[in-house]
Amino acid sequence: MIRIFEKEFNSFLNSLIAYLVIGVFLTAIGLLLWVFPENVMDYGFADMDTLFSMAPFVFIFLIPAVTMKSFAEENKMGTMELLLTKPLSDWDIVLGKFGASFALTLVALLPSLIYYFSISALGNPAGNIDTAGVIGSYIGLSLLALVFCAIGILASSLTVNQIVSFLLAAFLCFIFYTGFDKLATLSGRFALTIKQFGILYHYEALSKGLIDSRDVIYFLSVAGLMLLGTKTVVGSRQW
Amino acid sequence: MSLQIQNLTKIYGQQKAVDNISFAIGEGEIVGFLGPNGAGKSTTIKIATGYVPPTQGKVTVGGYDVVQQPMQVKKIIGYLPEHNPLYLDMFVHEYLHFIGGVYQMPARLLQPRIKEIIEMCGLGREQNKLIGSLSKGYRQRVGLAQALIHNPEVLILDEPTSGLDPNQLIEIRTLIKKISYNKTVIFSTHIMQEVQALCDRVIVINHGQLVADDLLKNLVEQKGNSTVTVVEFKFPVSQDDLSALPGVKKVIAEGNQFRVFSKEGEDVRPELFRFAAEKNNSLLSLKHEENSMEEIFKSLTISPPA
């Protein structure tokens, strides 16, 4: 697994993908937080809500772009046959690829900590920021990235075409993020249940700074389910 | 036995790709696996390497069952898939390092081994290049290098020379000959000369069925008891007249030309001259063919499925 992880991560670093992802993410978030109207300066409160409410939308586009290549290209180039005839289990391959995509996303997320320190310093008095809320939000955002990466990997395993993989992943991420939430507003009786299927409900709960095991389990189980699906797709050659 | 295949059958949907074939390959043998395109060579190989499962039958490699113990099998096999898939965005050195890592070779042994393999496969000058920038012949060498990196007991090569130019073909053949020392090698091809150049034993399949499994020289003896004369006349002649000539076994018309098969030990060329003279016809060409490798291949594989 570690070999696949290394190979995938190196391939991100050796191509433009890694730098592009990090650059685009930080630029987009930076603009939304500091420059565009209704930024943190206009707002007057030392908090990072803009970052945490906008980052998932940036991820909806960025993460599928990171993951779209992972299986689609191997399937297309025939290198999947090479990997699958090496002493690697299907899980090794799936988790290695998933891990590399997730790690890249975390690397992109890491520099945004600077915004925390700068906003904290701008507070009156300095340091007047809801640190617990920020920590909870970062954990929530990481878990959200985890789920998006798993969705992206699954979408990539289903096709040989990277564009199809990207669109499918972006669409699924969107559905999981806000789709269920919007759906809930349409239905009367089961509104809460449907809402709880979506990511937004659990993400907002974590943003308050309260790490509820139910929310964490939700994220982990959705990601696990997606990876299980991917493993099944990879193993389907045996059917 | 290094590789043992027992009653192997593979069905894709409605189609029987491999139909109940059995053979065994001993340690250190080099075997050519021959058949026309679509005969089931690649399918058999994909099953033997654990990529796809058999529908029926049993395959063992080095004593391990490919279905029950795929990991052990994969560890002792070196495999070059058909069309030689490679990561074009990796460097040769990096790629071999990755593959060595996948086989869990300790770093201490891996570095000298990569050096050795690069030397052996003649990749010295190309080792710091991107795989995507290499020519097809060199890519094939990289493919062979990755199959050999962990010093496998069994080497399985699926059409290792397809699509190469004649010079590259000879280079790769020489390389295979060199690396096959001390290993069990099975390689598939649809080119008879390749078998002749590389190995003693040949397994021929057609329409998923085993049609021959013998030493090459035995095949030549069995199938090679008639010689072929290709003849072309200026004016049309009837096939029956040719067949009636003494010493002629059978005649096949190929456009304006006739392939005349002679009986054992007989030379029909004087008869053909006489025939032409008698009919006031002219011979445009007359070519004597030793029973060629192609002829044997044709005679084994041209028959429709039983």
pLDDT one-digit tens code per residue, A191-208:
888 888 899 999 988 888
Residue pair B239/B251 in contact by the 8 Å Cβ criterion: yes
How far is residue B95's CA from residue B144's CA, in Å, rounded to a whole number?
12
Percent of chain A at pLDDT > 70 equals 100
The three-state secondary structure class of B179 is: helix
pLDDT tens digits for B208-218?
Answer: 888 888 887 78
**Nearest-CB residue to B89 (from A15, A78, A88):** A15
pLDDT tens digits for B189-207?
Answer: 887 778 888 888 889 888 8
How far is residue B59's CA from residue B66's CA, in Å, rounded to a whole number?
6
Contact A77 B49 (CB under 8 A): no
Where is pLDDT greater, at A182 or A155? A155
Where residue A92 falls among pLDDT bands split at 50, 70, 90? Answer: very high
Nearest chain B CA: its distance from A98 CA (Å): 17
Note the residue count of chain A: 239
Contact B52 A237 (CB under 8 A): yes
Interface test with B, best of A5, A82, A88, A236 (most B CBs within 10 A): A82
Nearest chain A CA: its distance from B74 CA (Å): 5
Q: Tell me if chain A has a CB within 8 Å of the CB of B71.
A: yes
Nearest chain B CA: its distance from A15 CA (Å): 9
Contact A14 B50 (CB under 8 A): no
For residue B304, the model assigns a pLDDT of 56
What contacts B59, CB < 8 A, 6 or more positions away?
B3, B4, B5, B6, B8, B47, B48, B65, B66, B67
Nearest chain B CA: its distance from A18 CA (Å): 15
**Nearest-CB residue to A86 (from B46, B53, B74):** B74
As a whole number, the mean pLDDT across chain B is 85
Chain A interface with B: residues with Cβ < 8 Å: 3-4, 6-7, 10-11, 14-15, 77-89, 237-238
**Nearest-CB residue to B74 (from A6, A15, A87):** A87
Q: Tell me if chain A has a CB within 8 Å of the CB of B52.
A: yes
Where residue B171 falls among pLDDT bands split at 50, 70, 90? Answer: confident
For residue B167, the model assigns a pLDDT of 84
For residue B306, the model assigns a pLDDT of 46
Q: How many A/B residue pairs have CB atoms within 8 Å?
A: 59
Contact B87 A79 (CB under 8 A): yes
Q: Please identify which residue in the block is written with the tokens 């005679």.
A: B299
| Predicted TM-score of the model (pTM) | 0.84
Q: Tell me if chain A has a CB within 8 Å of the CB of B83.
A: yes
For residue B303, the model assigns a pLDDT of 61
Task: Write out chain A residues lying below 8 Å of B83, CB-based.
Answer: 78
**Nearest-CB residue to A77 (from B46, B85, B101):** B85
Contact B103 A88 (CB under 8 A): no
How far is residue B249's CA from residue B264's CA, in Å, rounded to a whole number?
9
Contact B89 A78 (CB under 8 A): no
Where residue B291 falls among pLDDT bands split at 50, 70, 90? Answer: low
Task: Give the neighbor-by-neighbor strand order of the sheet with B154-158.
Answer: B77-80, B154-158, B184-189, B30-34, B201-206, B209-215
Q: Please identify which residue in the block is written with the tokens 């960025």.
A: A62
Interface test with B, best of A2, A5, A14, A85 (most B CBs within 10 A): A85
Q: What is the residue-wise DSSP string for chain A? A: -HHHHHHHHHHHHHSSHHHHHHHHHHHHHHIIIIISSS-HHHH-S---HHHHHHHHHHHHHHHHHHHHHHHHHHHHHTHHHHHHTSS--HHHHHHHHHHHHHHHHHHHHGGGHHHHHHHHHHSSSTT-S-HHHHHHHHHHHHHHHHHHHHHHHHHHHT-S-HHHHHHHHHHHHHIIIIIHHHHHHH-STTHHHHHHHSHHHHHHHHHTT---HHHHHHHHHHHHHHHHHHHHHHHGGG-
Mean pLDDT of B97-120: 91
Mean pLDDT of B162-187: 85
For residue B225, the model assigns a pLDDT of 59
Nearest chain A CA: its distance from B80 CA (Å): 8
Task: Write out chain A residues lying below 8 Å of B101, CB-based.
Answer: 3, 6
Q: Phi and psi of B234, rounded to 5°?
A: -75, -45
What contacts B124, CB < 8 A, 6 or more positions away?
B118
pLDDT tens digits for A31-83?
Answer: 988 888 878 777 777 788 888 888 999 999 999 999 999 999 999 999 999 99
Mean pLDDT of A114-128: 85
Task: Write out chain B residues lying below 8 Å of A160, CB-based.
Answer: none
Q: Tell me if chain A has a CB within 8 Å of the CB of B69.
A: no
Where is pLDDT greater, at A165 or B217? A165
Contact A10 B77 (CB under 8 A): no
Where residue B290 falls among pLDDT bands split at 50, 70, 90? Answer: low
Mean pLDDT of B67-91: 91
Task: Write out chain A residues lying below 8 Å of B43, CB-based.
Answer: none
